[in-house]
Amino acid sequence: MRKDIQEYLTEATDLSAIGHRLVEFLRCLKSQGNPKIGYVAGMITSEGPEFVERNLLRLEKYTQQISKKYHFPVFSQNDIFTPEVYQLIKASGVTREEFEEFYRQVHGSGLITHLFMTPRWELSRGATDELNTAVMANLTIIYIE
């Protein structure tokens, strides 16, 4: 799924454009006969910068496991923000609040149907915000152990 998302995002140069293109991509997935789409949330930066790489790998592992178990498209932050894209966005001075608003728009779009919460999500301000948005949007929430 990462390759497909990245192809859709190639010309997006800021967070707003990434959000618009991602929603467009999700609409395409739905129109191709995918009634369910899942997103995997978890802790990334909460333990400090020295643990970000480890947490991204952990998120990737969970995303792969969930993708094998559930028979519908599943993605995570790793599929949207490659290291190169993340550095571009970070260099533009995007704030944590702007990232949270980005995810509120994506999760509240009505296109994602399932939110998978990985272990220790509650330590993450971002994952907690994603959960709150998912509850308001009436997504199916699955807690991974």
**Domain containing 23 — which CATH number?**
3.40.50
| Pairing mode, strands 74-76 and 38-41 | parallel
83-91 helix and 15-31 helix, angle to the nearest 10 degrees: 140
Convert the pLDDT of each residue in 8-19 to its tens digit.
Answer: 888 888 899 999
Domain that holds residue 11: 2-143
Q: Where does residue 70 rank: exposed (0-12), middle (13-18), buried (19+ CB within 10 A)?
A: middle
With tokens 């709150």, the residue in question is: 132
pTM of the model: 0.93
pLDDT at 92: 83
Nearest to 100 by CA among 131, 143, 70, 141: 131
Q: What is the mean pLDDT of the chain?
A: 92
pLDDT at 73: 97
Q: Name the domain count of the chain.
A: 1
Convert the pLDDT of each residue in 85-137 to its tens digit.
Answer: 878 787 788 888 998 899 999 999 999 999 999 999 999 999 999 999 999 99
